[in-house]
Chain A
Amino acid sequence: MSFKTVERRPLSLAERTYVPQILSGMKTTFKKMVKPKETLNYPEARPPIPPGYRGVPTLVKDPNGREKCVSCQLCEFVCPPKAIRITPGEIPPDAETAHVEKAPEEFEIDMLRCIYCGLCQEVCPEEAIWLQNVFSVSGYTREEMVNDKKRLYELGGTLPDDHYKWDKKKAAEEAGNPHH
């Protein structure tokens, strides 16, 4: 292998006194002393979360309190690290939301697997799963790191709904399409 010898230049007088280097370092120090603080007193102080931030995936309800997920399992299918696990279930025919027919019996997201990619949110046809603003998750056991359905709804809360798809469906069902 060929190599090249780098010539080492001898230090100049100014360099040997070390004064210019100290001064330039002190300049930075004094400048920062008078500038506003850039760090946060985390965890007491929290950073603002910008819209569209991809935090922990959660399940949400619509403003009427209906759980939006219909357990279509598309998010389970799309999730690259297979963090999601759904047990689909049937809504009993006498329930208020019986016309939706299907809802998850159990819904688990393993936060040790989740890579916060947001594909679940993107694929969801019901806008039921949202990556919201929780960014720090911790636990003492692996089990604690799996969010079950109850926890996912706690984290998710209620989000505004643009469509009210199923409410419209129910209204149409009740009104029916005028015959002929």
Chain B
Amino acid sequence: MIQPAKPELVTVNIDGQEVEVPKGINVIEAARMVGVDVPHYCYHPKLTIAGNCRMCLIELGMPAVDRATREPIMDEATGKQKINWIPRPQIGCGTNVSPGMHIKTQSDMVKECREGVMEFLLINHPLDCPICDQAGECKLQEQATGYGRGYSRFIEQKNVKPKRTQLGPRVVLDDERCVLCSRCIRFSQEVAKDDVLGFVDRGSYSTLTCYPGKELANNYSLNTVDICPVGALTSTDFRFKMRVWFLKQTNSIDTESSVGANTVVWSREGVIYRITPRQNDEVNDTWMADSGRILYKQVQSDDRLLPAGSLADNLAAASALLKDGGVAVVGSGRSSVEEQFFTARIAKQLEAKSCIVARHGEGDGILVSADRNPNTRGALVTGLITGLPATELTELAADIDAGAVKTVLVVGEDLTAAGLSADQLAKVNIVYLGFHANATSAAAKVSIAGLTVFEKSGTYINQQFRLQKFASAVPGLAGATDDRVVLAQLLAAVGGETTGSDLASVWSALSREISVLDGLAYAQLPDTGLLLDSTAWSGLAFPEGETLHYQPATAEATA
């Protein structure tokens, strides 16, 4: 792995403590590094600085130097260099650290500033907390508690602004709650590149609104809900569904494309309520696409394959069919690395041809790539496939027509969608494993109900060859079995070498047998993933175009 260059450090003094922080970061980030909270609303690490909320005010000083001689001016009393404190408070978000800078975050002036800012922000705030979805994760609540005055002096009538405005198909706006931080506006301009939001009117009548005739409908609109520090922007899907303090957070990966955006799945008592992005500066920053946030609905979708018969019976029937010979294996680019590993081994054991089905869409250049399988790279790494997959299984179709294939083991794919006809399906015995019912599972001799990504754990390899893990957020459908376990048992049933199906044993086998995974273990994988050595596949012309933090390898490879 290539180590990133060490950043240049500067020494600053935060609340009397000398600390070394990377050059060029702002005071909020510098303070965060030493565990000092500088409250803020408008600053967001992945957006430009606006400096309009004034919550991050701090006191700033620079060591004094004689203008003429450039000699440091010493303070006789302490024997140290004198500090020239700027008489007025400065904003921490818009101030970058420089050598020798002195910062006070706890002085009386700073405290009074914060109380003042909080008081102004709350003047026209509707105090909607009981009916506001942001309650529990609201910066206004947190900072009113942490830095507010604690009581209100405002007896006049509050301003009235539009409430319950549908800004777009997925976002609801409550203008009374807005603190005018402009994060949502900057996000729309800078990241989504869909400049539809803006402020109208002045002073305390300033109102966030959508450009007339437009709506906030882009595929990244829900990120504005995430970054809105208050409850002004809320998600239509999540609105009034559940209080956030009841929700359990589980780290997961967005499976909609090979970008592999890092996500958090929020669930309560086995029911998923929402998916939000998780910060990974190498993959998705703090964003994710709206289309990836509704994938949790597959857990309770109508087309789930319901378990039928006992697993032991199904496995016996499946292995009888498979051991009969003439097998082809259709794996999946949606399976985890572990599952693909077992699929590849089953194929090897049965001396069967293996393939996966490619799924292409248009990349949006941000966080949805052209390859709509989350784990095509995993299939390459595990040896399930050796070249790039095709969207149509023409070779399999030809083999079936020629009578060379008697049984097809299908993992999660619908063969009719991959170009096979119903007649061709009828000619072969199908063993299907997956979580959704489709034409293939209907035609299957044996179909085994599996789990969705939210119900199992494992890893994916994204377009950067970054190995990323996901964990099960909710218990699996009753009677369904983890695909990894099913495949491991199927491998054992067809006479393959058995390794345990738990993640630790699978990973000891993976690290033993696959050279690029050498020395890795599931439990040790960092939350932000691990970049693998991809030189072995550098010659392949992957379909992805440029996305956030991803450049296609070489021009001629993509041509």
Known contacts: A172-B160, A177-B160. The answer to whether A125 contacts B130 by CB under 8 A is yes
When chains A and B are docked, how far (Å) is the Cα of A93 from the Cα of B162? 13
Which of chain B's residues have a CB closer than 8 A to the CB of A161?
Answer: none
| Separation of A78 and B126 alpha carbons in the complex (Å) | 24
Q: Tell yes or no: B512 within 8 A of A by CB.
A: no
The answer, yes or no, to whether A46 is at the interface (CB within 8 Å) is no
Interface residue B158 (Cβ < 8 Å from any Cβ of A): yes
- Asked if A120 is at the interface (CB within 8 A of a chain B CB), the reply is no
A72 in contact with B131 (CB, 8 Å) = yes
Complex-state Cα separation, A125 to B243, whole angstroms: 15
**Which residues of B152-192 have CB atoms within 8 Å of chain A's CB atoms?**
157-160, 163-164
Pick from B234-242, B414-422, B531-539 the stretch touching chain A: B234-242
Inter-subunit contact A100/B131 (CB<8 Å): yes
| Nearest Cβ on chain A to B357's Cβ, whole angstroms | 40
> Quick check: B240 and A99 within 8 Å, CB to CB?
no
A88 within 8 A of B: yes
Q: Please, how many angstroms separate the alpha-carbon atoms of A22 and B130 in the complex? A: 67
Residue from B126, B130, B163 within 8 A of A72 (CB atoms): B130
Q: Are B130 and A70 in contact (CB under 8 A)?
A: yes
Interface on chain B toward A: helix, strand, loop, or mixed SS? loop
With beta carbons under 8 angstroms apart, the residue of B129, B159, B163, B242 that contacts A125 is B129
Question: Per-position contact with A for B191-214: 1 when CB-CB < 8 Å, else 0?
Answer: 000000000000001000000000
Assess the B243–A177 pair: CB atoms within 8 A: no
User: Is A71 an interface position by the 8 A CB rule?
Assistant: yes
Q: Is the CB of B131 within 8 A of A70?
A: yes
Contacts of A88 in B (CB 8 A): 240-243
Give the residues in chain A near B73, CB-CB below 8 Å.
none
Q: Which residues of B contact A90 (CB under 8 A)?
A: 239-240
Interface size on B, residues (CB 8 A): 19
In the complex, what's the smallest C-beta–C-beta distance from B199 to chain A, in angstroms?
A: 16
Q: How far is the CA of A93 from the CA of B163 in the complex (A)?
A: 11
B151 contacts across to A, CB distance below 8 A: none
CA distance in complex: A88, B243 (Å): 9
Q: Given A70-B131, A72-B135, A101–B164 Cβ distance below 8 Å? A: yes
Classify the interface of chain A: helix, strand, loop or mixed: mixed
Query: Is A126 at the interface (CB under 8 A from chain B)?
Result: yes
Q: Are A73 and B246 in contact (CB under 8 A)?
A: yes
- What residues on A are CB-neighbors of B160 within 8 Å? 172-173, 176-177
Closest CB of chain A to B235's CB: distance in Å?
A: 13
Closest CB in chain A relative to B414 CB, distance in Å: 35
| Number of inter-chain CB pairs below 8 Å | 50
B245 touches A177 (CB 8 A): no
Interface presence of A179 (CB below 8 A) = yes
The CA-CA distance from A77 to B268 in the complex, in Å, is 13
In Å, the complex CA distance between A125 and B127 comes to 11
Interface pair B246/A77, CB less than 8 Å apart: yes
Is B164 within 8 A of A93, CB to CB?
A: yes
A102 at interface by CB-CB < 8 Å: yes
**In angstroms, how far is the closest chain B Cβ from the Cβ of A75?**
11
Please, which residues of chain A bring their CB within 8 A of the CB of B130?
70, 72, 74, 102, 125-126
Beyond A77-B245, A99-B163, is A89–B240 a contact (Cβ under 8 Å)?
Answer: yes
User: Of all chain A residues, which has the CB nearest B135?
Assistant: A72
Q: How far is the CA of A178 from the CA of B164 in the complex (A)?
A: 21
Contacts A73-B246, A88-B241, A90-B240 given; indicate if A101 touches B158 (C-beta within 8 A).
Answer: no
- A-facing mask of B208-247, CB < 8 A → 1, else 0? 0000000000000000000000000000000111110110
In the complex the two chains form, what is the Cα distance from A179 to B202 in whole Å? 11
Question: What 1/0 flags go to A44-80 for Cβ under 8 Å of B?
Answer: 0000000000000000000000000011111011000
Given A70-B131, A72-B130, A72-B131, A177-B157 contact (CB < 8 Å): yes
Query: Residue on B with the closest CB to A88?
Result: B240
- Distance of A73 from chain B, by nearest CB (Å): 4
Q: Are A179 and B205 in contact (CB under 8 A)?
A: yes
A93 to B131 CA separation, bound complex (whole angstroms): 15
How near does chain B come to A1, taking the closest CB pair, in angstroms?
Answer: 54
Contacts of A172 in B (CB 8 A): 157-158, 160
How far does the alpha carbon of A102 sit from the alpha carbon of B245 in the complex, in Å?
18
B557 to chain A, nearest CB (A): 51
Instruction: Say yes or no: B159 contacts A77, CB within 8 Å.
Output: no
The reply to whether A177 and B158 form a contact with Cβ atoms under 8 Å apart is yes
Report the Cα distance A92→B287, complex, angstroms.
31
> Measured between C-beta atoms, what is the minimum distance from B390 to chain A in Å?
46
State in angstroms the CA–CA spacing of A101 and B235 once bound together: 15
- B155 → A minimal CB distance (Å): 13
A102–B239 CA distance with the chains assembled, in angstroms = 10
The reply to whether A102 and B205 contact each other, CB–CB distance below 8 Å, is no
Minimum Cβ distance to chain B for residue A23 (Å): 68
Task: Pick the residue among B126, B157, B240 that contacts A102 (CB under 8 A).
Answer: B240
Q: Report Cα–Cα, A72/B241, bound state, in Å.
A: 11
- Give CA–CA (A99, B126) in the complex, Å: 12
Task: Select from chain A the residue with minimum beta-carbon distance to B243.
Answer: A73
Q: Give the chain B neighbours of A179 by CB distance below 8 A.
A: 205
Tell me whether B205 and A101 are in contact (CB under 8 A): no
What is the CB-to-nearest-CB distance from B140 to chain A, in angstroms, rounded to a whole number?
16
Q: In the bound complex, how far is the Cα of B205 from the Cα of A97, in angstroms? A: 25
Chain B, 372-415, CB within 8 A of any chain A CB: none
A179 and B157 CA atoms in complex are apart in Å by: 12
Please name all residues of chain B whose beta carbon is closer than 8 Å to the beta carbon of A100 when the two chains form the complex.
Answer: 131
Q: Kindly list 20 other residue pairs between chains A and B, CB separation below 8 angstroms, not including A74-B130, A173-B160.
A: A72-B129, A72-B131, A72-B135, A73-B242, A73-B246, A76-B246, A77-B243, A77-B246, A88-B241, A88-B243, A89-B240, A93-B164, A101-B131, A101-B163, A101-B240, A102-B130, A102-B240, A125-B129, A126-B130, A172-B158
18 residue pairs bridging A and B, Cβ less than 8 Å apart: A70-B131, A72-B129, A72-B135, A73-B242, A76-B243, A77-B246, A90-B240, A99-B163, A101-B131, A101-B164, A101-B240, A102-B131, A125-B129, A125-B130, A169-B126, A173-B163, A176-B160, A177-B159
Q: Which B residues form the contact surface with A (CB < 8 A)? A: 126, 129-131, 135, 157-160, 163-164, 205, 239-243, 245-246
Return the 3 tightest CB-CB contacts between A and B, nearest first. Answer: A72-B130, A102-B131, A73-B243
